[in-house]
Chains A and B, each alone.
Chain A
Amino acid sequence: MRNTSASKPLVKVRDLTMHFPIHSGLLRRRTGEVKAVDGISFDVFEGETLGLVGESGCGKSTAGRAVLRLYDITSGSIEIDGRDIGQTRQSDLRSMRPTMQMVFQDPQASLNPRMTVQAIIQEPLDEHTTLSEAEKREKVGELMDAVGLNRRFAGRYPHAFSGGQRQRIGIARALALNPKFIVCDEPIAALDVSIQAQVVNLLEDLQEKFGLTYLFISHDLSMVRHIATRVAVMYLGKIVELAPREALFGAPRHPYTEALLSAVPEPDPSLEARTSRIILKGDVPSPSNPPKGCNFCTRCPKVMDICKTIEPNYQEIESGHFVACHLYEKN
Chain B
Amino acid sequence: MAEGAATVLSVQDLKTVFRIRGGEVHAVNDVSFDVKAGELLGVVGESGSGKSVTMMSLLGLLPSPPAEIRGGKVLFDGKDLLKVDAETLRSVRGGKIGFVFQDPMTSLNPVFNVGMQIMEPLRKHMGLDKSAAAKRAVELLELVGIPDAERRLQDYPHQFSGGMRQRVMIAIALACDPKLLIADEPTTALDVTIQAQILELMKELREKLGMAVIWITHDLGVIAGIADRVMVMYGGQVVEQAPVRELFANPQHPYTKALLKTIPSVRGERQKRLTIIEGQPPILGAAPSACAFRDRCSFAFGRCAERNPLRVEVGNGHDVACLLADPLEVAHA
Contact = CB atoms under 8 A, between A and B. Distances in A.
A201 B273 contact: yes
B194 interface: yes
Interface string B220-263: 11111100000000000000000011001100000000111011
B46 A266 contact: no
B248 A195 contact: no
Contacts of B274: 197, 200-201, 226
B245 A269 contact: yes
A328 interface: no
A225 B196 contact: no
A315 B199 CA distance: 35
Contacts of B221: 222, 264-267, 272
Contact of A279 (B196, B260, B281): B196
Contact of A194 (B199, B249, B259, B264): B259
- Tell me whether chain A's interface is mostly helix, strand or loop, or mixed: helix
Given A219-B191, A226-B270, A279-B200, A201 B263 contact: no
Given A193-B262, A267-B263, A283 B224 contact: no
Contacts of A198: 276-278
Contact of A263 (B195, B249, B270): B195
Contact of B275 (A56, A197, A263, A270): A197
A198 B275 CA distance: 8
A222 B271 CA distance: 11
B192 A221 contact: yes
B263 A280 contact: no
A217 to B, nearest CB: 15
Which of B191, B258, B278 has the largest count of A CB atoms less than 10 A from its CB?
A: B191
Contacts, number: 128
A226 B271 contact: yes
Interface string A245-268: 000010000000001111111111
A192 B197 contact: no
B280 interface: yes
A39 B15 CA distance: 56
Nearest to B222: A265
B262 A194 contact: yes
Contacts of A264: 192, 221, 266
Contacts of A204: 273
A164 B263 contact: no
A263 B192 contact: yes
A109 interface: no
B106 interface: no
A123 interface: no
A279 B197 CA distance: 6
Contacts of B248: 267-270
Contacts of A309: none
Contacts of A265: 195-196, 199, 219, 221-222, 224-225
Contacts of B271: 226
26 contacts: A55-B192, A55-B194, A192-B47, A192-B281, A193-B218, A194-B276, A197-B263, A197-B276, A219-B191, A222-B265, A225-B264, A225-B265, A226-B264, A249-B266, A263-B196, A265-B196, A265-B221, A267-B220, A267-B224, A267-B260, A267-B265, A268-B224, A268-B268, A270-B245, A277-B200, A280-B197
Interface of A: 55-56, 162, 164, 192-198, 200-201, 204, 219, 221-223, 225-226, 249, 259-272, 275, 277, 279-280, 283
